[in-house]
Structure 1
Amino acid sequence: MNNILLLTDFTIKSENAHDYALKLFKGQKCNFHLLSVQKFWEYTMDDLMVANPQDDINTALLGDNKASLKETKEQLIKKTLKEDFNFHTLVDYDVFTTAINDAVDSYNIDLIVCGTNGKSDIMESIFSSHTLRIIRNTECPLLAIPEGFKFVNPTNIEYLLDYDDLFDPCGKEPFIRLVKSCQSTIHVMRLNYGFIIESIDYEKEQEAIIKYFHGTPVLYETHIDQEPIAVIEESITRLAIQMQVLSAHKETFMERVFSNSHLSKIVNSAVVPILVLRTCHQ
Structure 2
Amino acid sequence: MNVVLLSDFSSASTHMLDYAATLFKNQKVNFTILHIKTPCESKSCSGKCSVVFNQKLKKDQNLLELNGYHIDQIQIKFIEGAYIESIRNVIAEQHTDLIMLGNSNKGDYNTGLFFDKKTLEIITKVKCSVVLVPEEATIKLPQKALLPTDFSITSDYSIFNILTSLPFVNQTHLSLLPTGLNKTLGPNRKHSKELISKVINSLEFKSVKEIYSTNKASCIDGFDLVMVMAKNLSIFQDLFSTSKSSLCRPEIPILFLHDSRKL
Tell me the TM-score normalized by structure 1.
0.75
Structure 1 contact 155–182 (Cα < 8 Å) conserved: no
Shift of 1:181: 4.4
Does structure 1 residue 105 correspond to structure 2 residue 92? yes
Identity in percent: 19
Greater gyration radius: 1
Gaps of 5+ in 1: 52-56, 250-258
Shift of 1:213: 2.8
Q: Following superposition, which runs of at least 4 residues in structure 1 exceed 6 angstroms of deviation?
A: none
Residue of structure 2 equivalent to 1:17: 16
When the two chains are superposed, the root-mean-square deviation of aligned CA atoms in Å is: 3.2
Q: 1:12 to 1:142 in 2, by over 3 A?
A: same
Map residues 142-157 of structure 1 onto 2, 5 A cutoff.
142-157=130-145
Residue of structure 2 equivalent to 1:236: 220
Alpha-carbon distance in 2 for matches of 1:210, 1:105: 27
Residue of structure 2 equivalent to 1:266: 239
Alpha-carbon distance in 1 for matches of 2:23, 2:132: 13
Shift of 1:9: 0.6
Does structure 1 residue 89 correspond to structure 2 residue 76? yes
Shift of 1:131: 1.8
Shift of 1:159: 0.9
Shift of 1:212: 2.2
Residue of structure 2 equivalent to 1:132: 120
Alpha-carbon distance in 2 for matches of 1:6, 1:68: 14
Which of 248, 251, 257 does residue 277 from structure 1 map onto?
257
Alpha-carbon distance in 2 for matches of 1:121, 1:197: 35
Q: Secondary structure at the match of 1:187?
A: strand
Structure 2 contact 174–209 (Cα < 8 Å) conserved: yes
Gaps of 5+ in 2: 242-248
Map residues 45-194 of structure 1 onto 2, 5 A cutoff.
45=42, 48-49=43-44, 51=45, 57=46, 59-81=47-69, 86-117=73-104, 121-124=109-112, 128-162=116-150, 164-165=152-153, 169-178=157-166, 181-193=169-181
Shift of 1:201: 2.3
Q: 1:123 to 1:182 in 2, by over 3 A?
A: same
Instruction: Tell me the number of residue pairs that the alignment of Structure 1 and Structure 2 aligns.
Output: 249
Structure 1 contact 185–217 (Cα < 8 Å) conserved: yes
